[in-house]
Amino acid sequence: MSNFRIRPLAFACCVLLAGSAGLSPSVAAASPAAHKAAAASHADIKSNPFYNASTLPFQAPAFDKIHDADYQPAIEEGMRQQQAEIEKIANNPEPPTFENTIVAMEKSGQMLYRVMNTFSAVAGANTDDTLQKVQEIEAPKLAAHQDAIYLNPKLFARIQTLYDKRDSLKLDPESQRLLEWDYKEFVLNGAKLSDADKAKLKQWNAQEATLSAQFQNKLLGAAKAGALVVSDKSKLAGMSAEDVDAAAQAAKDRKLTGQWVVPLQNTTQQPALTSLTDRDTRHALFEASWTRAEKNDANDTRATIEQIAWIRAQKAKLLGFDTFAQWKLEDQMAKTPGAVMNFMDALVPAATSRAEAEAADIQKVIDADQAKAHQPTFKLEPWDWNLYAEQVRKAKYDLDQDQIKPYFELNDVLQNGVFYAANQLYGLTFKERHDIPVWHPDVRVFEVDDKDGSQVGLFYCDYFKRDNKSGGAWMSNLVGQSKLLGTKPVIYNVANFTKPAPGQPALLSFDDVTTMFHEFGHALNGFFADTEYPSLSGTVPQRDFVEFPSQFNEHWALDPKVFAHYAKNYKTGEPMPQALVDKLKNSQLFNKGYDMTELLSAALLDMSWHTLKASDPKVTDVDAFEAKALKDNHTDLSYVPPRYRSSYFLHIWGNGYAAGYYAYLWTQMLADDAFAWFQEHGGLTRANGDRFREMVLSRGNTEDLAAMYKAWRGRDPNIDAMKKDRGLETPKGK
């Protein structure tokens, strides 16, 4: 129910791509490449590029020497090596000590982590049929490998012995935290179960891993197949020339002559819905998105998620919890489903009320437009919202997205915005490296140096959408930081921005700009890791804390000093006119009712799935369950669909956010509250950045997160700044 041997592998926004996916033995038997890879694992494993640590700077993977056939034998050998190391620890005849048990566990599995970190990156950002097969075949094996560790009775007996006398071991605080964390994670993963129940848990873990992999690969196929194909260019009226060119290029890449393709992003709403003026095309694009995973048996995910939800409820009961959500939240910041629901329930009335008011404004624009054109009006639908909301934005703030995009050229945003803010706050500098191999030509690599000139690590960025790339945006490590292992961080950010036609600039929306700052906030959390043990380093496993540094970093995108440094016209180099800057800033509360409601809908839908009890009837109609959940949670506004529908909710079925999607809202509270502290103490200063780095960003999971936050902030977080920043304050007089 968590990633093998404790260390988190990837956050995707922030998605967890553990590389632990799987299918059935029949698929393995059907794969000649898999047979070939398995044979190679015995004969050539010592020549495998993952067998030893990379000799490249920072142990960066040698992508120029890694081939698809290398992954499966390396995964198999990595598991074999770690299992042997764990058996040696468990069977050690010496009495258990922190060094010979807990530290020894931390040192185990190095080959497995090397290959899984790299495989996760490539399987998420540049997959192919062979990698998908490997992902499917290895998932249940990785689940079994994890179970072999967590459910090893001799190993747990040693941990239990140390835990019981932890107060007399005289451990330093980080070591004490690691011991207590390991004990809790072993218990949560079934270490105290009977042998019969352990066997049952192992079976369910393998089944869930298989199903999760099936879901991920079906969804990737569904997104590719679900892209909108247009044969008449006039149907794309309203789209910018650059976006039309990109659609033509996407069709060309698929060998669709004389057509245009609008690829799907992972969310319900699609970027093109903001500009398409042909209502039939908007409707078609929305339906392509809404039904992407329901169109044919090959890509229909619904039966898969019904089974995943059922298995998770059974596992929770076996482990002594009423629901999967109760189990999942046991080691999170929120602690209980009740705390999560109380938090979100407090936001729903304000969010939906604001969304309803926004819808009324949009309906007026629709009515006026139709009357002006002497056409009958129509009721606002989800596929209309973005286009007409943009008109309301223009009317209220005189802001046109096409006006601002020329000021957000990708490289300027990256180097003069994202990197500049990191320099001003923390003293980091960045130097592009062209000698480090990458997994795709679009990927760029930068060396990151600290304020004293010492090397921090490497940063990879892969920003453009591809059909073989998972949707969304995320961060993870190729190499993690650990003083024990002597490693420094090698980190990557992935996004899905529209790739421009050849020779054209990559112009971003402000949402894209925010995404870049967001994902780099995760990267900073990883770069500043300063811990002894790899399991406690960097981006922590608690979902309702890990999004805090990233959402906090978003705030610097509009900081006046940072904004002025990157928001320059890509043709002239002129800064964005102050009048346009003011319009952009003033518009930031625009559409917040919609934004918050679609996010709350998704988070509450997640909780509805994961508060099912083992005794509840198994869900057999995903669409009906979803409709009832939205209604019961009071988020069933017809014109505000959830940000993710159940059938394509990758976060919760394939990327580790099950019963955790609320974390985006919870950490908005933390991020807004934290930024308020910066504003109270002088804003963008090195002193503020250094204090935040030392007390929060560098600490990983080395202490209780609520206590960590309170020590830095001076008090517990509250919702006041969030309500103000998200436009959810109760109007005066009400």
Listed by start position, the domains of the chain span 10-219, 226-278, 409-543
* First and final C-alpha spacing in the chain: 46
pLDDT value at 502 more than 50: yes
pLDDT tens-digit readout, 400-410: 888 999 999 99
Cross-strand bridge partners of residue 497 = 464
CA distance 326 to 659: 9
The encoded tokens of residue 369 equal 């437009």
pLDDT of residue 336: 95
Which residues lie below 8 Å from residue 172, measured CB to CB, with a gap of 6+?
A: none
pLDDT of residue 425: 98
Helices 195-225, 129-150: crossing angle, 10 deg rounding:
160
Among 72-76, 241-245, 300-304, where is mean pLDDT lowest?
241-245
Choose the catalytic residue: 519, 547, 554, 626: 519
Confidence of residue 730 (pLDDT cuts 50, 70, 90): low
The encoded tokens of residue 33 equal 């490449």
* Nearest-5° Cα angle at 530, 124 to 417: 60
CA distance 274 to 384: 8
pLDDT of residue 32: 39
pLDDT tens-digit readout, 166-193: 999 999 999 999 999 999 999 999 999 9
pLDDT value at 637 more than 60: yes
475 close to 13: Cβ distance less than 8 angstroms:
yes
pLDDT of residue 471: 81
Which residues lie below 8 Å from residue 710, measured CB to CB, with a gap of 6+?
A: 716
The encoded tokens of residue 241 equal 């020339």
Q: What CATH number was assigned to the domain covering residues 10-219? A: 1.10.1370.40
102 close to 182: Cβ distance less than 8 angstroms:
yes
Chain CA centroid to CA 101, Å: 32
pLDDT tens-digit readout, 126-136: 999 999 999 98
CA distance 99 to 108: 13
Average pLDDT over residues 595-621: 97
CB half-sphere exposure, 576, CA atoms < 13 A: 27
Give, in order, the Cα–Cα distances in Å from 75 to each of 27, 33, 110, 157, 215.
Answer: 18, 15, 11, 28, 21
For the CA atoms of 113, 115, 121, 126, the dihedral, rounded to the nearest 10 degrees, stands at -170
Say which DSSP state 479 is in. Answer: E
409-543 shares the fold of 10-219? no
CA distance 471 to 174: 36
pLDDT of residue 479: 98
Confidence of residue 238 (pLDDT cuts 50, 70, 90): very high
- Mean pLDDT, the chain, rounded, equals 92
pLDDT value at 17 more than 50: no
pLDDT value at 41 more than 70: no
Q: Please give the full DSSP string across 445-476, using - where no structure is assigned.
A: EEEEE-TTS-EEEEEEEEEE--TTS-SS-EEE
Chain CA centroid to CA 233, Å: 35
Cross-strand bridge partners of residue 529 = none
pLDDT value at 31 more than 50: no
Average pLDDT over residues 530-544: 90
pLDDT tens-digit readout, 179-236: 999 999 999 999 999 999 999 999 999 999 999 999 999 999 999 999 999 999 999 9
Whole-prediction pTM = 0.84
Helices 129-150, 32-43: crossing angle, 10 deg rounding:
60
Give, in order, the Cα–Cα distances in Å from 476 to each of 14, 435, 521, 526, 665.
Answer: 9, 21, 12, 8, 21
pLDDT value at 543 more than 90: no
What's at 344, amino acid-wise?
Answer: M
pLDDT value at 534 more than 50: yes
pLDDT of residue 27: 25
Give, in order, the Cα–Cα distances in Å from 180 to each of 345, 397, 519, 684.
Answer: 33, 53, 30, 37
Average pLDDT over residues 32-43: 46
pLDDT of residue 508: 96
pLDDT value at 42 more than 60: no
pLDDT of residue 701: 94
Confidence of residue 117 (pLDDT cuts 50, 70, 90): very high
pLDDT tens-digit readout, 267-300: 999 999 999 999 999 999 999 999 999 988 889 9
pLDDT of residue 331: 86
Average pLDDT over residues 686-709: 96
Average pLDDT over residues 16-21: 30
Q: What CATH number was assigned to the domain covering residues 409-543? A: 3.40.390.10
> What are the phi and psi torsion angles at 517 (to 5°)?
-65, -40
Rg from Cα positions in the chain: 25
Closest CA to 71 of 30, 95, 40: 40
Question: Is 519 annotated in the active site?
Answer: yes
CA distance 733 to 513: 36
Q: What whole-number percentage of the chain has pLDDT above 90?
A: 85
